[in-house]
Amino acid sequence: RPGGRERAVAHTSPGEESESEAKADGETASDSESRVEAATLPPSADDTPEVLNRALSNLSSRWKNWWVRGILTLAMIAFFFIIIYLGPMVLMMIVMCVQIKCFHEIITIGYNVYHSYDLPWFRTLSWYFLLCVNYFFYGETVTDYFFTLVQREEPLRILSKYHRFISFTLYLTGFCMFVLSLVKKHYRLQFYMFGWTHVTLLIVVTQSHLVIHNLFEGMIWFIVPISCVICNDIMAYMFGFFFGRTPLIKLSPKKTWEGFIGGFFATVVFGLLLSYVMSGYRCFVCPVEYNNDTNSFTVDCEPSGLFRLQEYNIPGVIQSIIGWKTVRMYPFQIHSIALSTFASLIGPFGGFFASGFKRAFKIKDFANTIPGHGGIMDRFDCQYLMATFVNVYIASFIRGPNPSKLVQQFLTLRPDQQLHIFNTLKSHLTDKGMLTAATEDK
């Protein structure tokens, strides 16, 4: 029938015809999938800068790739140090740019896979939903961390008051636009792409928002987790390159057990050393707060107990080995062990997930943005998973009530509400004997 073949294509996934033919010849589904992947996986494009190509022309492809990855890794680490030096505002802008680029790479894959169907408004709606979700999350952040500034400016105060209603209205507009764009014969495919966009928003935007929340808790909660992931990536590659013999997982054939285990121990040691160095500087351990007097961010405070040296007794078994009875260290270093352990044992599964995703669509990398490394998403697949863990870890084990935020909210109440809270607090402190003692001391 007219259009029958088009409907069949729209309702079957790529590779089903090949799989059916393989089964008819007595080949298993897994064998068929491997054969199809090997045949359709595009060869890697040589996007190495010409300068490096000439300098490394005499090396084998294995060592050439090693040097290219190493040089560009050092360049990215240097760039990371520069943006840290430029301060939290620049870091937040970089997180925003990385988020947009990762979203672009994933949406482009979806568009390239299904572009032949000429679906209306797919890319337009995808970017519109990105705008809506960012408006919601960044609006929540501004209201939470810039509360005094928002209350001082009348337009911001109105936007803050009705922020969630505005956000919902914006999303509802995009939802209605999607329904109006539905085309007969492509319903199922359009709903596939609608889900594609929303899952991408969940993976990329939500978790990049958590990165910014971690940053506000103190630069150390931003730098140490990211550095642990970078260290694990580098050390796992190094151990695997020189000692790797045993394959780790089929999704990533180049990953080895030797690299996985070596990366774990190296990352734990690195996390302890980096935490020790950073815990001694207020600019890293103090929460990032907005100063209304200077209209700028400040990172000055009295360090909490997490960042004060304490003496710990060493277990007897270890004492007999190293000869020490006690050790002085920052409590944060103990937390860094949890962070580095997650970065090296669970974090790589973000990379495995990305590898499975790329294999599903027969691509090698998300993009060719960074020679030898692929796209931005190829470098941040583990970082997003790490950001979520850090945010949950802080909320579960670190963060307590914030007095400054409570005072800010108290000052926005009506006078009668403020008086009621004052009398309640006064009675509570008097019953506990704290108010009388404070008065007598005065």
Contact 205, 99 (CB under 8 A): yes
Query: For the segment 53-70, what is each residue's pLDDT rounded down to a tens digit?
Result: 666 777 777 777 777 777
SS3 73: helix
Strand partners, 297: 290
**DSSP for 126-178, written as a single string:** HHHHHHHHHHHHHHHHHHHHSHHHHHHSHHHHHHHHTHHHHHHHHHHHHHHHH
Report the pLDDT value the prediction gives residue 403, as an integer from 0 to 100.
73
Q: What pLDDT score does 151 carry? A: 77
Distance CA 386, CA 148 (A): 31
Q: Cα separation of 311 and 203, whole Å?
A: 41
Give the C-alpha separation, 362 to 38, whole Å: 9
Q: What is the mean pLDDT of residues 344-368?
A: 88
Question: How far is the C-alpha of 347 from the C-alpha of 339, rounded, in Å?
Answer: 10
Phi and psi at residue 64, in whole multiples of 5°?
-65, -45
Q: Which residue has the higher pLDDT, 369 or 99?
A: 99
What pLDDT is recorded for position 424?
A: 92
- Looking at mean pLDDT, say which of 38-52, 216-230, 308-322 comes out highest: 216-230
- Which are the contacts of 264, defined by CB distance < 8 A and separation ≥ 6? 232, 341, 344, 345
DSSP secondary structure, 188-224, as one string: HHHHHHHHHHHHHIIIIIHHHHHHHHHHHT-HHHHHH
pLDDT digits (tens, 9 = 90+) for 244-266: 889 998 888 888 999 999 999 99
What pTM, to 2 d.p., does this model score? Answer: 0.78
Assess contact for 67 and 56: CB atoms under 8 A: yes
The residue with greater pLDDT, 108 or 20, is: 108
- Measured CA to CA, the distance from residue 310 to residue 315 in angstroms comes to 16
Using the predicted structure, report yes or no on whether residue 349 has a pLDDT greater than 80: yes
Give the H or E element holding residue 248.
strand 247-249
Percentage above 90 pLDDT, the chain: 36
Whether 114 contacts 193, CB under 8 Å: yes
Q: Give the pLDDT band (50/70/90) at residue 45.
A: low
pLDDT grade for 77, boundaries at 50, 70 and 90: confident
Indicate if the alpha-carbon torsion angle 379, 381, 382, 386 is positive or negative.
positive
371-393 pLDDT per residue, tens: 767 788 888 888 889 999 999 99
**Structure-block tokens of residue 220:** 């150390």
- How much is the average pLDDT of 92-106? 92
> Mean of the per-residue pLDDT values for the chain?
81
Handedness of CA 80, 86, 90, 91 (dihedral sign): positive
Q: Which of 313, 379, 309 is nearest to 351 (CA)?
A: 379
197 against 403, higher pLDDT: 197
Torsion angles phi and psi, residue 81, rounded to 5: -65, -40
Residue 9 confidence class, pLDDT cut points 50, 70, 90? very low
Containing 326, the helix (H) or strand (E) segment is strand 326-329
Highest-pLDDT range among 24-33, 207-216, 426-435: 207-216
57 C-beta neighbours (distance < 10 Å), count: 8
Contact by Cβ (8 Å): 205, 133: yes
Tell me the per-residue pLDDT of 265-305, one tens digit each, with 9 for 90 and over.
999 999 999 999 999 999 899 988 777 777 777 788 888 89
